[in-house]
Structure 1
């Protein structure tokens, strides 16, 4: 196992709300890498360090209890857009990665999750978001 090696997770929001700012949120709850959505998908590359276990760690990785690992995407005011009609964040769970996926990531593949961008109310999707087709390696 390549402990300490950094892999990349890509969070790709397929249909974000145009004109709304999105960003990653670090462990200090600060917005990082703000992007204002247009008419197409947006993506965030998240550097993640492989720790013993294997566990995932890094500036954007948060933990809840013994097993839950996730990354926040800030939206609207929480992403630093002032003023904004929206102040939300989305929690994207990072499951325990299979040995095959982890090996591909350690070999340089980016692990991508495609995420929905709209909530039932028509606004930006928030709360816990689940990848549409799981985590997939991409070149």
Structure 2
């Protein structure tokens, strides 16, 4: 992986309790599965940034010439084959503000707060719109 390393934190505010969530790598394998409880979940995503900026790494997915995103796998997609859920949440990273990206390149962790539930009451999926914009993690 070329470029300079950064860390993005994906924080799910209100995940559905008892459901397995994980990051999903480029080969569609679940990485770091956890079962949600009553509180928020968070995943730290290591990646690197090359000039452009170009986002690179095992978790970075692409769509078209500019869209870059990370998947959170849910239920069977996260390796829990007994789950009633088979979903993925797509979190865009190509829209990171330049000033925050500059801070991340200096070692800051950037965080985004995501909704945990879809309109049907199940886990939020498809392209997930953050509850708040990207910010510096505490």
Establish whether TM, by shorter chain, passes 0.5. Answer: yes
Matches within 5 A, 1:33-112: 33-112=32-111
TM-score, normalised to structure 2's length?
0.95
Report Cα offsets for 1:92-132 as digits up to 9, x if no partner.
11133333111211121111010000011111010100111
Which runs of 5 or more residues in structure 2 are unaligned? none
Which runs of 5 or more residues in structure 1 are unaligned? none
Matches within 5 A, 1:22-37: 22-37=21-36
Match of 1:137 in 2: 136
Bigger shift: 46-55 or 13-22?
46-55
Which ranges of 4 or more aligned residues in structure 1 deviate by more than 3 Å? none
The two structures, once aligned, show a CA RMSD in angstroms of: 1.1
What number of residue pairs does the alignment pair up?
A: 137
TM-score, normalised to structure 1's length?
0.94
Match of 2:15 in 1: 16
